[in-house]
Chain A
Amino acid sequence: MVPWLIALGAFVLIALWFAAVYNGLIALRNQVKNAWSQIDIQLKRRYDLIPNLVNTVKGFMKHEKDIFEKIATARQAAMAAGASGNVAATAQAEGALAAAMRPLFALVENYPDLKSNQNVQSLMEELTSTENKISFSRQLYNDVVTQFNTKLESIPTNVIAGMFQFKAAEFFQVENAVERQAVKVEF
């Protein structure tokens, strides 16, 4: 009788442990998805804000046409990549858009009329904040991905992960060489 009870007890404990580990992995995977959707929200905010700033500023800077063109193209590309859901492609396209925006920020700093305009100031604050929010949501995403992947790879969790085919998540990395270049501003 007693050996049966011990075996049953051991079985129950192992089953509970199994369930706990599995649930932990599910929770982490959902955190990863949630963090990704946070990035998405901020990216969409940025898509909506950019045309506003560009229009406000265009009037002052009629001769800077190709900055505006580059921004429009990059924005379209980023929206398309985001819609596809591919992490790496989105990261790359977003990096390109951020790079296209930088000359615009630099220019605003150098036009005193523009800089002191109330609308421009609050739009710049919004854009700065949006860039920050994108940055932080990417940071959170990468932090959560790190936790998830670490759990996946550690013993003994990796055994259960393998059984249920949990896959490692990708980091949000910028592969674009353009993003890493120093910004050249020509007048």
Chain B
Amino acid sequence: MEARVNLYQAKSRNRRDSVLLFLGMGILFGLAGALIGGGLGMPPLGGVAIGLAVAGIQGAVGWFAGDEIVLSMSGAREVDYAEFPQLFNVVEEMSIAAGIPAPRIFVIEDSAPNAFATGKKPGKAYVAVTTGLLDKLNREELQGVIGHEIAHIRNGDVRFGILMAVLVGAIVLLCDMFWRSMRFGGARRSRSSKGGSATAILFVLAVLFAILAPILAKIIQMAWSRQREYLADASSAELTRNPLGLASALRKIAHDPEPLEAANRAMQHLYIVNPVKPLEERAKLVFATHPPVEERVRRLESIAGFQRLSEAENLDSQSFAPSQGQ
């Protein structure tokens, strides 16, 4: 059981972890480029360049068109102050606390509670919530959820995420190139007289790498995604100075049995709680985009200074009642 952690420590730990994961990904990518490029007989930097170029194009599409795609996939519509004054007020409050311009606000007609944020940078950002969320959460909990989304915007998670996705894409691409060249050029290599044992070892390493690297890249990417979720939770606590509000909201959202209709795997990582629920249970934890809700709640309560005596109570909101302010 880890020691109690305060707000600032939680933030710096999460930030440090995600930077380490990014570096890990970078190293993996560099190795992939060098080894596979070398194994193919290309200069090492050639492999790196090609991988980056193609994946970079995919990233550019995600960068420029991503927001519109995501917003239309989720069925969100933009709303104005007159329709949802409390929502507008809460978003503005959190933007003030974060020191960023308020994002544009969208609502999704769905009784399942959930929310997401997207956007290239503060000032060009969007926040979407479901009508279910607005009905089921009180003002304090709504503030916690919006704080989490605003934190994602302020921390630049969408940009960072696209960068990570580009790196993963490049690694997968390089490995793919390797397998293709094996099929077409493999016969040639065995007749080549140059190199000898060094080339052979390099080749074997490249094969191993080509098998493991895509899986490893995915694992690193998912671990990074989970760290950013923890960071957004801690940042929300920093913005509201009320971690129990978000903890209570997370419990309510996780407990809600209704499925989000517009949910799909392409967008699952953007929501505050992964809406593709059955998958989350079945998938191994190492491939989950979001950390388990019990652990998120536990960390938030730890910031507030609470430690649960028994794990069984964690998801039971009756044994623990934060003040229900309206």
| Interface positions of A (Cβ within 8 A of B) | 31, 35, 38, 42, 122, 125-126, 128-129, 132-133, 136-137, 139-140, 144
Contacts and interface: CB of A to CB of B under 8 A. Distances in A.
B199 interface: no
A126 B93 CA distance: 12
A129 B97 contact: no
A133 B96 contact: yes
Chain A binding site: helix, strand, loop or mixed by DSSP?
helix
8 contacts: A31-B99, A35-B99, A42-B96, A129-B92, A129-B93, A136-B96, A140-B98, A144-B99
Nearest to B96: A136
Interface of B: 85-86, 89-90, 92-94, 96-99, 139, 239, 241
Contacts of B241: 139
Given A129-B93, A133-B92, A140 B99 contact: yes
A35 to B, nearest CB: 7
Contacts of A122: 85
A140 B89 contact: no
B93 A133 contact: yes
A147 B93 CA distance: 21
A129 B139 CA distance: 10
Contacts of B92: 129, 133
A31 B98 CA distance: 12
A12 B93 CA distance: 45
Contact of A136 (B85, B86, B97, B139): B97
A126 B85 CA distance: 9
Contacts of A35: 99
Nearest to B139: A128
A136 B238 CA distance: 11
B85 A140 contact: no
A151 B59 CA distance: 37
A137 B89 contact: no
B240 to A, nearest CB: 9
Nearest to A139: B97
B166 to A, nearest CB: 30
B93 A125 contact: no
Nearest first, the 5 A-B pairs at minimum CB distance are A129-B89, A136-B97, A136-B96, A132-B93, A137-B96
Contacts of B89: 125-126, 129, 132-133
Contact of B93 (A31, A136, A144): A136
A72 to B, nearest CB: 25
A128 to B, nearest CB: 8
A113 B93 CA distance: 29
Nearest to B143: A132
A38 B98 CA distance: 12
A125 B90 CA distance: 10
A140 B96 contact: yes
A140 B93 contact: no
Contacts of A125: 85-86, 89
Contacts of A126: 85, 89
Nearest to A124: B326
A61 to B, nearest CB: 21
Contact of A38 (B85, B90, B96, B239): B96
Contacts of A140: 96-99
Contacts of B93: 129, 132-133, 136
A136 B92 CA distance: 10
Contacts of A133: 89, 92-93, 96
Among A38, A42, A136, A144, the most chain B Cβ lie within 10 Å of the Cβ of A136
A141 B7 CA distance: 18
B243 to A, nearest CB: 15
Contacts of B97: 136-137, 139-140
A36 to B, nearest CB: 12
A137 B94 CA distance: 10
A122 B90 CA distance: 14
Nearest to A140: B99
Among B85, B89, B90, B241, the most chain A Cβ lie within 10 Å of the Cβ of B89
A106 to B, nearest CB: 14
A133 to B, nearest CB: 5
A156 to B, nearest CB: 22
Contacts of A132: 89, 93
Nearest to B95: A136
